[in-house]
Amino acid sequence: MTAIIVTLAVMIGCIPCIVHSLKEHGQWPTIAFFTGGFIFGIVRENIVALMPGMYTYPNHPLYIGAAPLMMGFGWSASFYACWMVSKRIIEAFAPHFKDSRLAVSFLTAVGTALLSLPVEIAAGAPETSWWIWPAEAISVWYEMPPIVPFGWGGAAFIFVFMFIWLMDKIKSPKRAAVFFVFGGSVSAIFIHLIYVVTVRGVIVLLLNPI
């Protein structure tokens, strides 16, 4: 029952983000962002399921392959909400950076990394079996490995930066949407996985120096 509630909550939580995006950015950017985010979440999590020492999803009502359906909505909503909050913070406190892709994407990454902490620890992901880390992966930071906030933040930076870049570069919103959905979001998956493997290796070296 808890798993069904969580899945519905994530899906419903995505709705106000989509509505806001339609008003803020228009039809095609919204389609691009949330379709791309869904693809990012589902494809990425299916690839992660094949990697050793990573988390598993034992308690979900609906799956696409090895990925719970909610992950497509969860990544999209997390990216969008943190992106919009970051934009408003920059507009209020550092308006000369409001058009900087790097600044906006970086602050989005920081916000998304911080979001990972209550989800992974306070919200009880391990207790509800939304996802489970193997014992060998959990060395510090309560019930999550130290890679988690870096993984969340890195994903947000790559996804949002690529989205903003393509939307700015390609003047036709419809063409930009197609390029992002079928190229940008998929590229973001593999860039992020390379990033995660690299950061994970650095963390392992730092925690277990030779």
Whole domain around residue 108: which residue ranges?
2-207
- How does pLDDT run across 1-17, given as a tens digit for each residue? 677 787 888 899 999 99
- How does pLDDT run across 62-119, given as a tens digit for each residue? 899 999 999 999 999 999 999 999 999 999 999 999 999 999 999 999 999 999 888 7
- How does pLDDT run across 148-207, given as a tens digit for each residue? 899 999 999 999 999 999 999 999 999 999 999 999 999 999 999 999 989 988 887 777
pLDDT of residue 198: 93
Compute the distance between CA of residue 134 and CA of residue 85 in angstroms, rounded to an integer. Answer: 33
CB-CB contact of 113 with 141 (8 Å): no
Which positions ≥6 away from 146 have C-beta within 8 Å? 139, 140, 203, 207
Which positions ≥6 away from 151 have C-beta within 8 Å? 116, 192, 196, 199
pLDDT of residue 141: 52
Number of structural domains in the chain: 1
Q: Minimal CA–CA distance to 104: which of 88, 121, 87?
A: 87
Residue 60 has pLDDT above 80, yes or no: yes
**3-state SS class at 56:** strand
Measured from the Cβ of residue 24, the count of other Cβ atoms closer than 10 Å reads 12
Q: Minimal CA–CA distance to 148: which of 119, 108, 176, 177?
A: 119
